[in-house]
Amino acid sequence: MRNMDKQYEVAQPSKKSIRSLPNSIQSLVGFKRNLTPSWIESVRQIIKDLRSSNEVASSSIKCTPLEKIQPSVNNDGGTDDSVKKIQDELDSLTSILKQLTLHRRQALNDYLDLKGNIRVFCRIRPSPTDVNYAYYKPPLFNLDSSNVSLRVADNKSKQYRFDKVFHPHSTQEEVFSEIEPVINSALDGYNVCIFAYGQTGTGKTYTMEGQPDNPGVVPRGIKALLERAAESNYKFLFTFSMLEIYMGNLRDLLAPNSRKRRVQKAPCLSIQMSPEGGVEVENLVVIKVSDFQQVIRLYELGMRFRSTASTMVNSMSSRSHCLIRISLTCFNAHERRRETNKLWMVDLGGSERLLKTQASGRRLQEGKAINLSLSALGDVIAALQSKKSHVPYRNSKLTQVLCDSLGSDSKTLMLVHVSPNEEDLCETICSLGFATRVRSIHLENEESEGERAKRELSMAQMEQKVKQLERECEEVRRNIKKLKDRLKHVRGPMNPTNSSFDDSYQSIEEVQYPDGAISFQSSRNFSEASAGLPRFMRPTICSQHKIGLTHYNAFNTRKKPPIPSKKRPSSVYAESIISPSKGACFSDYNSECSISAVSLNWKESEENGTESSQAGSEYEIKQVIFPEQEKSPRTTLTSDDDECIKELAKVPAKDTRDKKNLGIDELLNLKVTEKTSTYTRRSKRVLAFAFDKENKGREICKADIQLCNQSINLEAPNEKSESNTMEKVSLYGTVEQFGESTEIDHPSKNMVVGKFYNGFDASSSELTEIKNHHKEDYGQATEENELIMECQKEYVEGTNKVEIGSESTKIQAQSPALQEMNSCKEETLNSCQSKEDAEKSCLLSDLPKVDQRETFNGAEVSITRFQEEEHDIGIFEFFMQILQILWVRALFGLGFQSLGLSDDFFDGLMF
């Protein structure tokens, strides 16, 4: 016993480590008889020592680790020892920072949990009639920081309660400061979703986007996120994507051909879901961003393509839901919830009472689609709040795409917007009712006053704790930085492999291609990371293009037997070319209630290393987004911001031929530089375009030319037309597809196949959409004017000289090109409703062109015009033909007559 006591006495000194404790406990368990007062005292002492030594360590770290290290560096004199000591300090600081970050995250999480995983804020728009918003007091509302009393009748009011209420005079800063903690939890690896909901014209876009001098939640949030990520001790990879849900279809706002949606069926994206509940939008453009300015430029670009229109209620009404997705990836940050998470910021389309907006035509359909999806969103959030076993995510594309960011492991914030006007009372009641439904149902219904007070107290304490921990983290970070500087000073540039702290910086390596395109790769190798995923979750080759991982062939583990080249279905391309969007892809709001109808029948092309889908739209997107091709005449960027255009145009044009991936600058510059280039093609080309005999000789005022991988858009007002209509010519073609196998005698010449048509006479579904544009009551003029404006801008901005079909050649029978055209022809036939249309559409013709110079807004441009009436055969040529036929007849006449072919046969050859 004495020995035992002695033993514990020896183990008692203040420098005992925690390692002594298990020994003691083991002794305790093994030798119960040794449980003496002195033993207990010794254990107590160990614990006490342990606590105090921890406190000393942490306080010394918190205070001035540098000061502690300074003497050791000086005293030791030896560089190696100094380096080692600094390194040790760095390691210990890093581990402390990790602990602190973990605690901060936990505290923030607890705080947000107390507030509710789904939180609802309410913002009341200032009345437009009130000049001075700051002193405006809406008579309709009686507000405090979390309660809204709405006067519904003279002596009756309705009460609503929210997590936070913003008065009409609340500033953008105030709004953002409340939202910031939710955004910050994205850095901790949570999926976050922030919605702006409300009646049309109540300020959703104002809150989310803001104004240039008064930015909203999106720019502020992204800026804060980037700043905080830069401050953190990990390196984050941010990617930016932007899409809209228009009439129940997902559209990429950053895809270069986004602007075509007005005149063509825009390609729609499909949603893929993993068994684990992860959601990925197939073919979505994902752009790596590293600084705020890049994000803003992309955001502005995307916003230009968003569907907006003038309505009775809002002159710039959003006709779609706009979704901004920031994806965050951070490796080796074990305290983060997940390696890759998403932050969604969603500007929802305005809910509207269709009677009130008096919408009709397309506006009506848009309004219905928006209302339907909002109602589906309400159902989903209500189901989540009430913890129902079934959450109806599949009822709308909106909820489908957000489904992994709306669950219990995510943070959701809804900002409901209401109007202060009395005439909007009904909509206000609806919106507030919706928000109340969304808001913590279980909390609201089950919580007593006392419980609420208690919760609020805990929340306040937790908030303090979070702030305190943030301050501590900040201090440790500063000290780490100082130590690193000192270390550099002592031994030169720090070898990052020496410190675990720097491991995180190594985890993501940036690859800068010589041409400026940016890509990234992980030291953990993406292919490794994705190897365990189910096949459909692994990135496609196209996705790899997007994120710059094309060089990782191991990514695509699918091995398909090579298709013999002669059997390669050229129709895959033809399908995509002539009919970029299938019916399934474009539907009215009713598709909102279905899972994506786009088939994902992947076919691998060995020629270009991309995958093409039978869904034409997808094929088109892939080709347009990541062109590995020559400079094209694409003029997809239409800007309202001349300054921006000028600025971008300063950047010299780059050949994109070898690009594996588009960096943000390349994406933006491509559009501008190509716009100002004269289009000359070296390779062979097949053009398919529409031709309407009845309109021969009429000017083609709008040419929408799409060269599969490249596109050009020329639109101009039809000057000759009395009505406000537009005529349209669609030119589709291929560039790369026929490749070497094309048997065209003169590679420099172009083959032309197609038809002209008048946009209103044609009956294809594509034209119906144009018709709809012209039938609209509201926004019609605006939209057309917009088109005209865009067109004029394009003409002004660049002097596009488009030379298409200038040198027609005969098409050799059975050449792959002809097969291609035949399949195009078949498609066109299918797309035409009447036989007459079909006949019109399938004319094969060699058309000469007339180059004309026109002036738009003072800028002289060269336009290629097709005029069939000028397609006259010369009289000499005519006689030559007759002579040839007579000659043939003379040679073979007797032989043919013996076969039963009479003179009529030869006459037929002539005419």
- Interface residue list for ligand ATP (CB under 6 A): 125-126, 198, 200-206, 314, 316-318, 349-350, 417
Residues 6 or more apart whose CB falls under 8 angstroms from that of 465 comprise 107, 111
Nearest Cα to 585, choosing from 619, 631, 552, 611? 619
* Paired tokens of 196: 């702006």
Q: Is 205 labelled a binding residue? A: yes
Q: Would you say 640 and 301 are in contact if contact means Cβ atoms under 8 Å apart?
A: no
Residue 200, annotated ligand binder?
Answer: yes
779 is an annotated ligand-binding site residue = no
Q: Dihedral sign for Cα 247, 269, 272, 440, please.
A: negative
Calpha distance 312→849 (Å, rounded): 44
Residue type, 853: R
Q: Three-state secondary structure along 838-898?
A: HHHHCCCCCCCEEEEEEEECCEEEEEEEECHHHCCCCHHHHHHHHHHHHHHHHHHHHHHHH
Of 348 and 804, the one with the shorter C-beta distance to ligand ATP is 348
Strand runs (DSSP E) across 164-283, as ranges? 164-166, 191-198, 210-211, 214-215, 237-246, 249-252, 271-273, 279-281
Q: How far is the CB of 301 from ligand ATP (least distance, A)?
A: 19
Q: Give least dist CB 192 to ligand ATP, A.
A: 21
Closest CA to 509 of 521, 518, 501, 495: 521
Q: Is 203 one of the annotated binding-site residues?
A: yes
Cβ distance to ligand ATP smaller for residue 242 or 648: 242
| Least distance to ligand ATP, CB of residue 780, Å | 17
Buried b (16+ CB within 10 A) or exposed e, 653-689: ebebeebbbbbbbbbbbbbbbbbebebebeebbbbbb
Among positive and negative, which fits the CA dihedral 741, 746, 750, 753? negative
Closer residue to ligand ATP, CB minimum distance, 303 or 483: 303
Q: Tell me whether residue 201 is annotated as binding.
A: yes
Q: Which amino acid is at 700?
A: I
Contact criterion met (CB below 8 Å) for 116 and 123: no
Calpha distance 113→458 (Å, rounded): 11
Q: Closer to ligand ATP by CB, 311 or 395: give it.
A: 311
- In the complex with ligand ATP, which residue's Cβ is closer, 198 or 580? 198
Q: How far is the CB of 402 from ligand ATP (least distance, A)?
A: 18
Report how far apart, in Å, the C-alpha atoms of 53 and of each of 9, 17, 59, 376 are.
19, 9, 10, 57
Q: What is the DSSP string of 557-623?
A: ----PPPPGGGS-THHHHHHHH-SS-TTTS--GGGGGS-------EEE-TTTS-EEESSHHHHHHHH
- Least CB distance from residue 641 to ligand ATP, whole Å? 18
| Smallest separation (angstroms) from ligand ATP to the CB of 348 | 8
**Closer residue to ligand ATP in complex, CB, 174/604:** 174
Tokens describing residue 450: 């006392």
Q: Which residues of 421-450 are buried (b: 16+ CB within 10 A; e: fewer)?
A: beebbebbebbbebbbbbbbbebeeeeeee
Cβ distance to ligand ATP smaller for residue 200 or 617: 200
Answer yes or no: is 198 a known binding residue: yes
Q: Which residues are 864's β-sheet partners? A: 851
> What is the distance between the alpha carbons of residues 795 and 729, in angstroms, rounded to a whole number?
17
Tokens of 702: 């709008």
Backbone phi and psi for residue 86, each to the nearest 5 degrees, phi listed first: -60, -40
Q: Shortest gap between Cβ of 343 and ligand ATP (angstroms)?
A: 20
Query: Which residue in 358, 326, 107, 133 sits closest to 238, CA to CA?
Result: 326
- Full DSSP string of 119-130: EEEEEEPPPTT-
Shortest Å, Cβ 306 to ligand ATP: 10
Alpha-carbon span 716 to 181, nearest angstrom:
49
Alpha carbons 774 and 30: distance in angstroms, whole number: 90
> Counting Cβ atoms within 10 Å, is residue 30 exposed (0-12), middle (13-18) or buried (19+)?
exposed
Q: Which is nearer to ligand ATP, 247 or 624 (CB)?
A: 247
Closest by CA to 466, choosing from 183, 163, 186, 102, is: 102
Q: State which residue, 213 or 869, has the beta carbon closest to ligand ATP.
A: 213
Measure the CA–CA gap between 759 and 892, rounded to whole angstroms: 48
Smallest distance, ligand ATP to C-beta of residue 210, A = 9
The verdict on whether residue 204 carries a ligand-binding annotation is: yes
Would you say 204 or 546 has its CB closer to ligand ATP?
Answer: 204
Q: Are strands 321-329 and 340-347 parallel, antiparallel or unpaired?
A: antiparallel
Least distance to ligand ATP from the beta carbon of 321, Å? 10
User: Closest CB to ligand ATP among 128 and 496?
Assistant: 128
Nearest to ligand ATP of 174, 846 (CB atom): 174
Q: Shortest gap between Cβ of 131 and ligand ATP (angstroms)?
A: 11
Cα-Cα-Cα-Cα torsion 607, 612, 616, 618, nearest 10 degrees, comes to -130
Q: How far is the CB of 451 from ligand ATP (least distance, A)?
A: 33
Residue 349 or 580 having the CB closest to ligand ATP? 349
**CB 137 → ligand ATP: shortest distance, Å?**
15
Comparing CB distances to ligand ATP, the nearer of 316 and 888 is 316
Residue 78 is assigned to a ligand binding site? no
State in angstroms the smallest separation of the CB of 354 from ligand ATP: 13
Can you tell me whether residue 710 is helix, strand or coil? strand
Binding-site sequence positions for ATP: 198-205
Binding-site sequence positions: 198-205
